[in-house]
Amino acid sequence: MSLTSDITTLLNADNTFKAAITAGAFDAVEISRPLTPGAFDTNDEIKPCALVKTGAEVNAGNKNYAVKTTLTIYLYQRSGYVALDAGLAQLYAVLHQRHSTNVWEILFENETARAWDDALNCSLAVVRYSVFRKKV
């Protein structure tokens, strides 16, 4: 499995995260009605959801086969920030300093907690982590 699908699966299995981000996390190109229909309600309004993306993979120093990958998670909510704030807190609890198979450590980098997405016309939060792992 890929890093994005592993993180997506992990988040969707976390009951506290799913209580806040009710539509769950998606591993997709973007949040849109054709690609992620589960992110929208019957009125085509966006539900609290997350999009998991990875960025550049760079050498992580002098360790054999070690890479650092940027993990970016976008959180969306129709209006307000209650679900986003709870989702950000749970992301930190689940991901920061996490270790797993082929992942040595996940470290929090930065977040933008209260923003707006013009394309989806909804509230937005963005959080980034660095993932140190074995290149597979």
CATH of the domain at 128: 3.30.2000.10
Q: What is the mean pLDDT of residues 55-80?
A: 90
Write a three-state SS string for 13-63. CCHHHHHHCCCEEECCCCCCCCCCHHHECCCCCECCEEEEEEEEEEECCCC
pLDDT at 97 over 70: yes
Confidence (pLDDT) at 46 = 98
User: To which H or E segment does residue 93 belong?
Assistant: helix 82-95
Q: How far apart are CA 132 and CA 136, in angstroms?
A: 12
CA angle 118, 39, 23 (to 5 degrees): 120
Number of structural domains (the chain) is 1
Q: Grade residue 60 by pLDDT with cuts at 50, 70 and 90.
A: confident
Q: Grade residue 1 by pLDDT with cuts at 50, 70 and 90.
A: low
Q: What is the pTM of this model?
A: 0.94
- Determine the structural domain holding residue 41 and report its residue range: 3-134
Distances (CA, A) of 30 to 50, 55, 97, 102: 10, 14, 27, 26
Q: Grade residue 99 by pLDDT with cuts at 50, 70 and 90.
A: confident
